[in-house]
Amino acid sequence: MHETDRQQEIFSTLEKGGLRIEPGRLLRSAFAVSGGSPARTEPFRKGWISIQDEASQAISLLLDVHAGDHVLDLCAAPGGKTAPLVRAAREKGLVVAADRHEHRLRAMRDQFERLGLRNVRLVELDATQALPFSEKFQRILVDAPCSGTGTLARHPEIRWRLELGQLAELHRLQVAMLTSAACQLAPGGRLVYSTCSIEAEENEAVVADVLAGDRTLRRVSSSEAARALLSHLVEGTAPVEFFDGDGQFSTAPGEILTDGFFAGILTRDS
């Protein structure tokens, strides 16, 4: 079925179920629904749609995966960012989705089964340690565990749960994960480090610390990073609006009704 026809069928089915549909504010492929639960609809059961914040959807696009790429998603659970990576790598590509906890890997396996995704390998590992891979990857995503302060609008309880000193501990873990991931990056490849935090300790400071320890890594320029989003944004939205002078991506909660996300985009010189 053609993509446009599939989209029309999805919208028609959702509307018949009483849901209201609005276009996405950031991405052309996204849409918002209200008036019911999309997880209880036929398009969801058939794997035609998934539920994910628009800024979160953009993170996978920043990796700019091509058909045939070997991709590592180092902190993959629950798998929302992994699925588009598998589709972009296609049958000749390889996607390794890793997580520390077996029960989260089982949940991802169920998710991929619903979506009809087969070309993905699940691996249980501790991302803060040296990784057990002999090969290098062209694309690596580190969607790191974080404080989640970019999601306060949906999870206001975070403000009461976050304790003094927790950001420093998270920073240490995030640096360890990004360092481990960088060791697996092929020359000329791309690594995206992301969080749903708006704290500099978890974002810019993590990237800066890892770059200081590895002189063969560098940031991707803002213009080069923005090209990955160019064809995906809604009409009238300029991708450079979301990048700073160091090529780092961010969204602010409330501006376009997304969560607050950060992404540092790195490459390794040949």
- Which residues are known catalytic residues? 196
Query: Do residues 127 and 181 touch, judged by C-beta distance below 8 A?
Result: yes
DSSP per position, 138-166: EEEEEE-----GGGTTT-TTHHHH--TTH
Owner of token pair 């989705």: 97
Q: Are 178 and 193 in contact (CB under 8 A)?
A: yes
Helix segments in the chain, DSSP class H: 3-16, 42-45, 54-62, 82-89, 102-115, 158-161, 166-182, 204-213, 222-227
